[in-house]
Amino acid sequence: MPTHYDVVVIGAGPAGEGAAMRASKAGMDVAMVDEKPMVGGNCAHLGTIPSKALRHAVKQIITFNTDALFRDIGEPRTFSFPKVLKRAESVIGKQVKLRTTFYARNRVKVYSGQGRFTDEHTLEVVKADGSIETLIANKFVVATGSRPYHPDDVDFRHPRVYDSDTILKLQHTPRKIVIYGAGVIGCEYASIFCGLGVRVELINTRDRLLDFLDHEISDGLSYHLRDIGVLIRNGEEYEEVLCRENDVIVKLQSGKAVRGDAFLWCNGRTGNTDQLNLDAVGLSPNYRGQLEVNDRYQTDVAHIYAAGDVIGWPSLASAAYDQGRSTGAGLAELDDFYLVQDVPTGIYTIPEISSLGATEQELTQQKVPYEVGQAAFKTVARAQITGETVGLLKILFHRETMQILGIHCFGDQASEIIHIGQAIMNQPGEANTIEYFVNTTFNYPTMAEAYRVAALNGLYRVSSF
């Protein structure tokens, strides 16, 4: 017998969880369907949580191996990749336990299995044992996330070839790794492996790293990665990936060839829609497997919504959760729906990058009269105390109105520091000006003080005319 619900959510990642919790709290009868036996989605099991926990462990190793204070304890140490990965596994367990309680507390029934539509209001859940459970709902939310794109000419079954999901199953520490794709994930893993003492070659298909960033920040990342030993090859594309027993050879279209003990593919992602039988509901994903939605997160079928990585930009866990919550509000026809737009970028390289608003190149192209305020971390007392002096905070503001137009940060705790600026930048009227930072007292010494330093730097440039 089919089971009836007001809403069935497909995918227990941040977007699905956000939608399910919001709709349930609004009094709707909600079910969650996820192919994994435990909730959390790719965010908890394959992406955000494990990679950031791994990054934190590597950062601690770097601190131990580079800080002279620890030489009284012992010489610099090497750590195997599998050993460091155990840190991530413990965090995954804690996250799953926490998120499981959310579903129980909000009385959201969780079904483990592959969901597939049979008609516009019916979803079959194929369980691991082959049995099928049929769910009927008034509304659906597709929040199935994404997975690494796999080109047909790369053998991902080879034991030395990995993608950003399977790299978390690496059972040895390679001497050298070739990373193809220098987007966010590629740059993050380049800094992680380099921190473990692995030689890294980063192949970038574009002319510069992370070209969506403010160019000064992008240049800073390039300089730092090269400074720690990463070899960056810009403007290159592969011709062939030759897998051998003991190594992988990547032949480039430029005629070059690079060799590594392991190969990590980080070039593109695909929406997880191919198993949903979307033809049964009249939906067609784009060539990247993503669903198009309107400004209410509705697909072309009005009672079927979509949120998170499966709809594309910005493909961040933070945004996905907010998109899910907004979708849940829309499902319940509540007034607190909002369209997720101004999302800070969080890039967890070592050190971090975070940005919000316009870049210098965008403002220049738009012919906006802007000025720049900067604070180099090497001049900030807290950074000198912690030894994390790489990086800067950069504020872009209008020369006439003093309105904050963009905030860009490269350095330790950048993803935390950005939120101070975000709060001021989103204030109404004249409250969102750079002058706030010079008329406010910051604790000393703190990294937040960088805002005052950057603001004074920028205002001096304006007053000097």
Whether the ω angle into residue 314 lies within 30 degrees of 0, i.e. cis, is yes
Q: Is the peptide bond before 2 cis (omega within 30 degrees of 0)?
A: no
Give the three-state DSSP class for 438: coil
Retrieve residue 115's tokens.
Answer: 């969901």
- Across the strands, what pairs with 233? 203
Residue linked to tokens 């990294």: 447
Report d(CA 187, CA 51) in Å as an integer: 12
Backbone angles phi, psi at 188, to 5 degrees: -65, -45
Q: On the CB side of 217, how many CA atoms lie within 13 Å of its CA?
A: 33
One-letter identity of residue 40: G
Output the CA torsion sign for 16, 20, 23, 25: negative
- pLDDT digit string, tens, across residues 183-205: 999 999 999 999 999 999 999 99
Total residue count of the chain as it appears in this document: 465
In this structure, what token pair is assigned to residue 255? Answer: 């005629």
- Binding residues, as ranges, are 34-43, 52, 115, 144-146, 181-188, 268, 309
The burial of 253, by beta-carbon neighbours within 10 Å (0-12 exposed, 13-18 middle, 19 or more buried), is given as: exposed
Instruction: Return contacts of 283-286, CB within 8 angstroms, 24+ apart.
Output: none
Q: How far is Cα 197 from Cα 66, in angstroms, rounded to an integer?
A: 12
Q: What is the identity of the amino acid at 332?
A: A
**What domains are there in the chain, each with its CATH number?**
3-147+270-331 (3.50.50.60), 161-267 (3.50.50.60), 351-463 (3.30.390.30)
* The pLDDT of residue 90: 85
Q: Give Cβ neighbours of residue 307 (< 8 Å, ≥ 6 apart).
A: 15, 16, 18, 19, 141, 142, 143, 293, 297, 320, 323, 324, 326, 327
| DSSP β-bridge partners for residue 345 | 355
Helices (H), 297-379: 317-331, 360-365
Residue stretches of the annotated binding site for FAD: 34-43, 52, 115, 144-146, 309
- Is the dihedral angle over the CA atoms 254, 259, 264, 270 positive or is it negative? positive
| pTM of the model as a whole | 0.93
Give the span between the Cα atoms of 436 and 440, in whole angstroms.
6
Q: Which residues are annotated binding-site positions for NAD(+)?
A: 181-188, 268
C-alpha 135/C-alpha 122 separation (Å) is: 6
Closest CA to 18 of 293, 334, 305, 320: 320
Please report, in tens digits, the pLDDT of each residue of the chain (465 residues total).
799 999 999 999 999 999 999 999 999 999 999 999 999 998 888 888 889 988 998 888 888 777 777 767 766 667 778 888 887 788 888 999 999 999 999 999 999 999 999 999 999 999 999 999 999 999 999 999 999 999 999 999 999 999 999 999 898 899 999 999 999 999 999 999 999 999 999 999 999 999 999 999 999 999 999 999 999 999 999 999 999 999 999 999 999 999 999 999 999 999 999 999 999 999 999 999 999 999 999 999 999 999 999 999 888 899 999 999 999 999 999 888 878 888 999 999 999 999 999 999 999 999 999 999 999 999 999 999 999 999 999 999 999 999 999 999 999 999 999 999 999 999 987 789 999 999 999 999 999 999 999 999 999 999 866
Q: What is the pLDDT of residue 270?
A: 96
